[in-house]
Amino acid sequence: MGDLRTTLRRWHVGLCWLVCLPILLWTVSGLVMAAKPLEEVRGDSLVAPLKPIQIGSPLAVPQIEGRPVTAFKLESRAGGPRWIVTFADGESRQADPATGKLLPRLGAADAAREVADRSTSKAKVISTSRIDANSPPLELRSAMNGWRVALDDGTNFYVDGGSGEIVAHRTGWWRMYDFMWGLHIMDLQGRADTSNPWVVTFVALSILMVLLALVLLPLTLRGNGNGAGGGNGK
């Protein structure tokens, strides 16, 4: 029994050393992510709702140039009401509701104007950079041809270059949360794969470590009890 207990203890200690770092990362990252309400992390209050639209004249049908369309809707933009046309290939464009003509894609100044019109933050725009659908930033998580508008408080707004829609906004705390999420699921590259081999392996080893502890506990108590009884007998 003593040899079995010694062998199990060695395995238990070895597994403890092996999984101590992942367990520490899981605990610390979970604590950081729980430090603030998710609504504050996402910055839900940073983007104002779209303004109501008042229609004072007849609307012209968007001129879609013979391209298949999946949807179009009327929405408010910084420059006034705009048709938002979604084509079958996924591209979205604005159209003038007075003439129906498609409008040019947004430039850097247009994107900054959309953010200034919708943002509730008092921070100022410090830079505007183009986003390529083929290489979107990690914090965006989706392909988009448009603009990243950065504010001086660390918040980034992402504006679609065709529709003028603010598709995402990322606060500084969101980026910290996102990094901790990547540590938590052991996927710092994509930060989306919650069942990657690292997680599965270390979780399985952690369970094995706990099971060994549960087996060792009664064996250790029994061994201590026998030792105490033998001493009293002498």
Q: Is residue 232 part of a domain?
A: no
25 and 117 both lie in a single domain: no
73 and 185 both lie in a single domain: no
Report residue 225's pLDDT band, with 50, 70 and 90 as the boundaries. low
Do 77 and 50 contact (CB within 8 A), yes or no?
no
Going by C-alpha positions, the residue among 191, 144, 150, 190 that lies closest to residue 170 is: 150
Q: Which residue has the tokens 């100044």?
A: 109
89 and 160 both lie in a single domain: yes
Domain end position, chosen among 150, 170, 190: 170
59 and 113 both lie in a single domain: yes
The parent domain of residue 185 ranges over 2-37+181-220
pLDDT digits (tens, 9 = 90+) for 20-73: 999 999 999 999 999 999 999 999 999 999 999 988 788 999 988 788 999 999
128 and 207 both lie in a single domain: no
What is the model's pLDDT at position 64?
Answer: 85
What is the model's pLDDT at position 226?
Answer: 60
Q: Report the alpha-carbon distance of residue 185 to residue 180 in Å, rounded.
A: 9
| Domains identified in the chain, total number | 2
Going by C-alpha positions, the residue among 83, 61, 63 that lies closest to residue 72 is: 83
- Does residue 216 have a pLDDT over 90? no
Structure tokens at 163: 């529709």
- Does residue 222 have a pLDDT over 80? no
Q: Is residue 51 part of a domain?
A: yes
Residues 6 or more apart in contact with residue 135 via CB below 8 angstroms: none
101 and 193 both lie in a single domain: no
> Mean pLDDT across the stretch 5-31?
91
Q: What is the pTM of this model?
A: 0.84
65 and 162 both lie in a single domain: yes
23 and 57 both lie in a single domain: no
pLDDT digits (tens, 9 = 90+) for 88-103: 998 999 999 999 999 9
What is the model's pLDDT at position 185?
Answer: 95
Residues 6 or more apart in contact with residue 66 via CB below 8 angstroms: none
Q: Is residue 129 part of a domain?
A: yes
32 and 72 both lie in a single domain: no
- Does residue 233 have a pLDDT over 60? no
What is the model's pLDDT at position 108?
Answer: 97
- Does residue 176 have a pLDDT over 60? yes
Going by C-alpha positions, the residue among 72, 69, 61, 74 that lies closest to residue 87 is: 69
18 and 61 both lie in a single domain: no
Please state, rounded to an integer, the average pLDDT across all residues of the chain.
90
Q: Report the alpha-carbon distance of residue 71 to residue 83 in Å, rounded.
A: 10
Q: Is residue 96 part of a domain?
A: yes
What is the model's pLDDT at position 55?
Answer: 83
pLDDT digits (tens, 9 = 90+) for 201-214: 999 999 999 999 88
102 and 142 both lie in a single domain: yes
The SS3 assignment for 19 reads helix
Q: Is residue 66 part of a domain?
A: yes
156 and 68 both lie in a single domain: yes
What is the model's pLDDT at position 32?
Answer: 94
